């Protein structure tokens, strides 16, 4: 057995290139399981996906524990929440330990929604897209980590770090129960973690990889305006009774002006100013950002100069040949904060897919290039962490 050196990374990269058909077949197998967490009728499929991951990890010699969060009331039924799959590979005290998070559930999808193909049959297009629900969010990355481990074994290369896996089946439905499990297991299963890595984010664009070090967070509100108990004739009551829709429109228009400036008093007092380095990064950008608010999530910020990010940056450059973009996203990944607070260790968000992958949308895809190079990136990240 040999250690992971530059030469061994080249062997690893070559193995990935030589076995793309097998790697894609593994993703095809995972996408075929409709692990939709939002509906009761698909709950058994989500659980089956968790068992699939358990079998793959155990087949590679990992120690696996299935943590069951308990029951859930969903659509008039009592169903079991999908298990959180905890995996462990290696306990060498001389090595650094990485905790890796991902999710195996997906958003709902029907061909009638506007898909060109069956969403649960992975299709490779002529232009190199791997189309299928969950391909980029988040089965591609989850399977990628497993295949990275398998490739090292097949090549006879020692894994340079200890690994702890945390794969959940409820991320698309609020990660119910996961916070409590992470906090409960912080000094048990996750004990000894040096760094955490999450791959549930995306490149800023389509040509350059990126590392996410900040999340804006969001809040989800309902606003209701009530009016008359019965429908009123506009010819009789028009102009004398307030129309609820008009009142609501007027209310919403007081929140933001035509230039996008938020008009809520005091809100900008809570926003940190950008640094000079960040301002230089943003200069010359010609891009737009569209954010659709969902459930609430706290903001998060990390230092892109932390050793965990330095290792990830080196891994990206080794694979893609360029420095990654440093990204502060407009959304939220709440579990990031949970890991950081519970384990008291740095978290890096290392992306595989592109901004145009269509996560949560019809014809979701993961480019073949991103899938293959992303798996290489994972192996390079392990090596760079070991070299810290």
- The catalytic residues are 105, 171
Rounded Cα gap, residues 178 and 171, in angstroms: 9
Structural contact between residues 103 and 96, judged by C-beta atoms closer than 8 angstroms? no
3-state secondary structure the chain: CECCCHHHHHHHHHHHHHCHHHHHHHHHHHHCCCCECCCHHHHHHHHHHHHHHHHHHHHCCCEEEEECCCEEEECCEEEECCCEEEEEECCCCCCCEEEEEEECCECCCCHHHCCCCCCCCCEECCCCEEECCCHHHHHHHHHHHHHHHHHHHHHCECCCCEEEEEEECCHHHCCCCHHHHHHHHCCCCCCCCCEEEECCCECCCCCCCEEEEEECCECCCCCCCCCCCCCCCHHHHCCCCCCHHHHHHHHHHCCECCCCCECCCCHHHHCCCCCHHHHHHHCCCCCCCCCCCCCCECCEECCCCCHHHHHHHHHHHHHHCCCCEEEEECCCCCHHHHHHHHHCCCEEEECCECCCCCCCCCCCEEEHHHHHHHHHHHHHHHHHHHCC
Query: Checking phi first, is residue 174 left (phi over 0); if not, alpha (psi -120 to 50) or beta?
Result: left
Tokens of 360: 């949560």
């Amino acid at each position: 057995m040999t250690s992971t050196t530059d030469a061994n990374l080249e062997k690893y990269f070559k193995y990935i290139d030589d076995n793309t058909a097998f790697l894609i077949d593994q993703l095809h197998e995972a996408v075929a399981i409709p692990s939709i967490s939002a509906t009761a009728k698909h709950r058994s499929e989500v659980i089956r996906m968790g068992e699939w991951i358990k079998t793959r990890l155990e087949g590679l010699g990992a120690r696996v524990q299935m943590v069951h969060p308990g029951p859930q009331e969903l659509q008039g039924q009592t169903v079991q929440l999908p298990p959180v799959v905890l995996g462990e590979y290696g306990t060498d005290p001389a090595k650094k330990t990485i905790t890796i998070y991902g999710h195996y559930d997906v958003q709902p999808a029907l061909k009638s929604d506007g898909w060109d193909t069956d969403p649960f049959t992975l299709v490779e297009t002529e232009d190199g897209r791997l189309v299928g629900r969950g391909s980029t969010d988040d089965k591609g990355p989850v399977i990628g980590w497993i295949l990275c481990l398998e490739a090292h074994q097949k090549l006879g290369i020692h894994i340079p770090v200890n690994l702890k896996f945390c794969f959940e089946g409820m991320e698309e439905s609020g990660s119910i129960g996961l916070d409590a499990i992470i906090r409960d297991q912080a000094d048990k299963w996750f004990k000894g973690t040096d760094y955490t890595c999450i791959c549930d984010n995306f490149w800023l664009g389509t040509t350059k990889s990126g590392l996410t070090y900040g999340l804006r967070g969001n809040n989800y509100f309902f606003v209701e305006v009530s009016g008359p108990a019965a429908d009123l004739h506009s010819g009789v009551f028009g102009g004398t009774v307030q129309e609820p829709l008009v009142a609501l429109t007027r209310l919403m228009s007081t929140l933001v002006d035509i230039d996008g400036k938020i008009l809520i008093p005091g809100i900008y007092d809570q926003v940190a100013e950008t640094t000079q380095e960040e301002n230089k990064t943003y200069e010359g950008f010609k891009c737009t950002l569209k954010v659709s608010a969902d459930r609430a999530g706290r903001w998060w910020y990390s230092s892109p100069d932390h050793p965990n990010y330095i290792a990830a940056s080196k891994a990206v450059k080794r694979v893609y040949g360029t420095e990654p973009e440093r990204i502060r996203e407009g959304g939220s990944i709440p579990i990031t904060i949970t890991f950081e607070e519970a384990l008291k260790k740095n978290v890096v968000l290392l992306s595989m897919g592109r901004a145009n992958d269509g996560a949560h949308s019809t014809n979701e895809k993961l480019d073949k290039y991103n899938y293959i190079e992303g798996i290489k990136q994972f192996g390079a990240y392990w090596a760079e962490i070991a070299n810290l």
